[in-house]
Amino acid sequence: LNPPRITEDIFVIVAYLAWGLVRLRYAGLDLGSIVATSAMITAVVAFAMQDTLGNILGGLALQLDNSIEIGDWIEVDKVVGRVVDIRWRSTLVETRNWETVVFPNSQLMKNKFLVLGRRTDQPVQLRRWIWFGVALNTIPNKVTGAVEEAVRQADIANVAKQPAPSCVLMEMDKGCARYALRYWLTDLSVDDPTDAAVRWHVFTALERVGISLAVEEQNVHYIKENSKYQSVVLQREAMQRVKTLKRIELFAQMTDEELRALAPRLKYALFAKGSIISKQGAVAHWLYIIINGEAEVFFEGSNGERSNVNVLGKGSFFGEMGMMTGAPRTASVLASTDVECYRLDKEAFADIMRARPSLAEEIAQVLVERRAQLDSVVHHLDEQTRQQAKSSQHTELLSSVKRFFGL
């Protein structure tokens, strides 16, 4: 226990008074005459020390009704801080700026103040609002769904899982729809850093679904670019994408012409640190290629135990089984840092598969090897068992690929 200083002082004073009265009584003094004489003195002193007594009584009242306690976060006259001490005359509040503000107890008794994050039978946490704007022609459900899913699945420090974060449309005015992402902050001392982390997740979630942030007023600057300049920029980007695809073993048997046709179909996807890029058990018909950052692959057992499988970096890819066979994700992938990816959907790859069906055989071989690597880690298989599993899975996977693409 860490009782306030004022409570300790009261017990000490009462103990000394009781001890003094007992000693006087045993000394033969008449306590009644002493009390009568001291009453007039007390009245004079009380009149002369109205403010001081008001502060003292205010401190006692705050303690008796548990209005505030040491450790509470309060807001008084736009000052927000944590209560560190409740004294006879004043209450000390430390702010996030390393300031200590001294509030007279009488001020707290006479005026309204907020106790932040306190609710009966609930943990201490405070709801925060993250505002952002989106163009009016964007479907609201698409915005709220993308943002809520990203923030709820992400592992963000000091963001409570319950109540779950929620995104709501608040206003539609001046050519802009105003949304608010509401989450619960568990450590009230780190409000701004946590807000910044949540904003980054909101931005990356919208970026992945092709939604841009908007503002009510914009200054538009036009840069005149000739067709030659634009052609060079597009060509440079296309070459970079082709180089990325060439490094992926899944596409090793594809021709340069096929890779150039596939490159424009790649979609840029950005994930903030802590985001779940791929969820175990989810059905998603696309794969990701990491172009910057690191991601952690982990497997969750039936008992909820989490096993780390691998760490993926630049040039790694995952999700190929979902894109090629439609199978659910066998493991989860968590962004260890901010991660930039290319996303390749089944629809983009289907045209090439139909134009050259023989590609299915070569891709199936790569899928078998990738699955064997994952199974050996998750199920701790020896080399002999792994080779036997590869032999039995090849025919099955080849049939699944052909069936999924209608070959």
CATH number of domain containing 23 = 2.30.30.60
Say what the pLDDT of residue 166 is.
95
Tens digit of each residue's pLDDT (9 = 90 or more) over 295-322:
999 988 878 788 888 899 998 989 888 8
Residue 131 placed within a domain = yes
CA distance 37 to 75: 44
Mean pLDDT, rounded, for 33-57: 56
Q: Which of 108-117, 166-175, 196-205 has the highest mean pLDDT?
A: 196-205
Q: How many secondary structure helices (H) and strands (E) does the chain include?
A: 12, 16
Residue 121 backbone class (left: φ over 0; alpha: ψ -120 to 50; beta: rest): left
Say what the pLDDT of residue 238 is.
84
**Is the pLDDT assigned to residue 110 strictly greater than 70?**
yes
Could you tell me the pLDDT band of residue 111, with boundaries at 50, 70 and 90?
confident
Residue 235 placed within a domain = no
Mean pLDDT, rounded, for 368-377: 70
Say what the pLDDT of residue 392 is.
67
Residue 137 placed within a domain = yes
Looking at the DSSP assignment, which residues form a beta bridge with residue 172?
177
> Which domain covers residue 252, as residue numbers?
240-405
Q: Report pTM.
A: 0.68
Tens digit of each residue's pLDDT (9 = 90 or more) over 77-109:
889 999 998 887 788 999 999 999 998 887 887
Residue 223 placed within a domain = no
Say what the pLDDT of residue 279 is.
92
CA distance 393 to 185: 48
Claim to verify: residue 179 and residue 139 sit in the same structural domain? yes
Claim to verify: residue 262 and residue 327 sit in the same structural domain? yes
Claim to verify: residue 101 and residue 168 sit in the same structural domain? no
Say what the pLDDT of residue 337 is.
92
Mean pLDDT, rounded, for 355-383: 74
Residue 216 placed within a domain = no
Residue 231 placed within a domain = no
Claim to verify: residue 149 and residue 16 sit in the same structural domain? no
Tens digit of each residue's pLDDT (9 = 90 or more) over 116-155:
988 888 899 999 999 999 998 898 999 999 999 999 999 9
Q: Is the dihedral of CA 388, 392, 397, 398 positive or negative?
A: positive
Query: Which of 389, 356, 333 is closest to 251 using CA atoms?
Result: 356
Residue 158 placed within a domain = yes
Q: Is the peptide bond before 163 cis (omega within 30 degrees of 0)?
A: yes
CATH number of domain containing 201 = 3.30.70.100
CATH number of domain containing 283 = 2.60.120.10
CA distance 214 to 199: 14
Residue 121 placed within a domain = no
Mean pLDDT, rounded, for 282-294: 91
Claim to verify: residue 328 and residue 392 sit in the same structural domain? yes
Claim to verify: residue 59 and residue 107 sit in the same structural domain? yes
Query: Which of 227, 363, 205 is closest to 276 using CA atoms?
Result: 205
Tens digit of each residue's pLDDT (9 = 90 or more) over 233-279:
778 888 888 888 888 888 888 888 888 888 888 999 999 999 999 99
